[in-house]
Amino acid sequence: MNLAPNVLALLPEYILTLAGVFIMLAEPCLKPGSSRKPLGWIAILGTLLAAGASWFQLGFGTVHAFSGSIQTDAFSIFFHLLIAAVVLVTLLGSLEYFEGNATHAGEYYALVLFGAVGMMLMTCSTELLMVFIGLEISSISTYIMAGFRKGQAVASESSIKYFLLGSFATAFFLYGIALAFGATGSTSLAAIAVGLGTTKTPTLAILALAMMIIGLGFKVSAAPFHVWTPDVYQGAPAPVVGLMSTAPKAAAFAVLLRIAFSGFPSMQHRWAIMIWILAALSMTIGNLGALLQRDVKRMLAYSSIAHAGYLLVAFTAFPVEGISAAAFYTAAYAAMNVGAFAVITQVGGFNETARTLDDYRGLATRRPVLSGVFAFFLLSLIGIPFTGGFFGKFYVFSAAIGSGHIWLAVIGLINSGVACFYYLRLLATIYAKPTAEASEVAPATPVSVPAIVGLTLATVATLVLGIMPGNTLWLAQYAGTSTMIENAREQCAATPNNCQQMPVPMERR
């Protein structure tokens, strides 16, 4: 099949946009109070098609479209598939969650799809303008989704906090782009990389990079820019938290990788220090913060800050190993975290009846299977062998040690030890003897079939990443390699005389 590059490169985005617009149009046509599940199924179908389209793109290698502002390569396809999978699990878990509880549940499905379009757009843009547009599409959708439990005071509070801090971060990111434009005369990553070689104002470029890292640091909730995370995650609906703690973060990490590795590779020694500090702070603050929490969602919010820190460790392994380790860790983290929040969705329900550790006491006697799955995700978050979390951490830390950042790896390993404590405390609580009053509250509604499918998907993904990481790892390494080859090609095209001095990219294994 021959498709124009402009069609091929954004095929998944087109599919999701069409599905989202269709849901938006169909929503008011349905009778108020009638089931919104058909719209949910359309969203699921659209997501599956988008994932299929991404897989289809893999056969075309690197595709440039829209005057070079979109670059579909193995790197973007990896993140496209990841985002589609997260969205799929979220949608499957949300079908029952919003049914009968929210008045316009159809809008939720449309917003999830639009959000996914934005995130996917972020991962395949090599032009900062497109990155900005994608970032905003994904952010604005998630601001609304965070407050989707209308009428609940905590929901709107969560929404406003997310909105204000998110916009604040966007402004920083934009200022960074403006300064990068000033330093190099372009907003395209390839042109910035070339322009940095001849720029007369390197200080401005460093400032630009710092501003962009601050902006994206907010989005991935890396300490010290994490203050919004616990509040927002605590107040937002559980399936939405599952989505926004994984997919937008994966997209933001993809952007950070592109900016750092493709746009500013010549300033590696500068941004490595900033990322080093961010990583160390995020791991420490995230894990120490989680120790103090009684609210389970809040605890997992701090845990996600810590995981953002582990992910940042991968950045220090420049160039190819860093990309593949970061990509693999993102996948492992997404699988286990979206799974954990899918369990919380089922345990708490729309009214979030189970919030604190006390509410989870003795869960195992009431919901044995659900508790078992939850335990598996928690073990993966700790990093126990045979789970995705273990291999993720293994690759990240070995990449860091391989590039000589021993101390960062040591800090990470100490933090993993600290993290054991609060995950195990939650586990112990779940398997503790239930108190008398807790057993009375149990109206255990059965888990619906789509939610079971979603949970199974997340479980299988976490397990497969832990037992047979080969395929994903290959795709992650291919992603890293293709990005570096493309960088080298762009640089060669711009400065043919220096071609011999380019680092030889790793061959595809």
Judged by the rule CB under 8 A, the positions of this chain that interact with another protein are: 129, 132-133, 136, 140, 143-144, 147, 150-154, 156-161, 163-164, 167-168, 170-171, 174-175, 177-179, 181-182, 185-187, 230-231, 234-235, 292-295, 298
| In the complex, least distance from residue 417 CB atom to another protein, rounded to whole angstroms | 24
Number of CB atoms found within 10 A of residue 184's CB: 23
Cα–Cα distance measured from residue 42 to residue 29, given in angstroms and rounded to the nearest whole number: 15
Residues in the chain: 509
Note whether 390 and 469 are within 8 A (CB). Answer: no
Pull the structure tokens for residue 425: 């405390």
**Using CB atoms within 10 A of its CB, is residue 332 exposed (0-12), middle (13-18) or buried (19+)?**
buried
Cα–Cα distance measured from residue 234 to residue 220, given in angstroms and rounded to the nearest whole number: 17
Cα–Cα distance measured from residue 87 to residue 117, given in angstroms and rounded to the nearest whole number: 11
Residue 147: name the closest of 162, 129, 135 by CA: 162
| In the complex, least distance from residue 182 CB atom to another protein, rounded to whole angstroms | 4
| Contacts for 255 with CB less than 8 Å, ≥ 6 apart | 122, 123, 125, 131, 135, 216
The C-alpha angle with vertex 289 and arms to 288 and 293, in degrees rounded to 5, equals 120
Helix (H) or strand (E) holding 410: helix 406-430
Pull the structure tokens for residue 183: 């330093």
Cα–Cα distance measured from residue 131 to residue 118, given in angstroms and rounded to the nearest whole number: 9
Residue with tokens 């809008």: 107
Cα–Cα distance measured from residue 276 to residue 284, given in angstroms and rounded to the nearest whole number: 12
CA atoms within 13 A on the CB side of 364: 13
SS3 447: coil
**Nearer CB in complex with another protein: 317/357:** 357
Number of CB atoms found within 10 A of residue 226's CB: 25
Cα–Cα distance measured from residue 323 to residue 325, given in angstroms and rounded to the nearest whole number: 6
Residue 437 backbone zone (phi > 0: left; psi -120 to 50: alpha; other: beta): alpha
Cα–Cα distance measured from residue 417 to residue 438, given in angstroms and rounded to the nearest whole number: 31
**Nearer CB in complex with another protein: 130/427:** 130
| In the complex, least distance from residue 13 CB atom to another protein, rounded to whole angstroms | 17
Report which DSSP code applies to 502. S
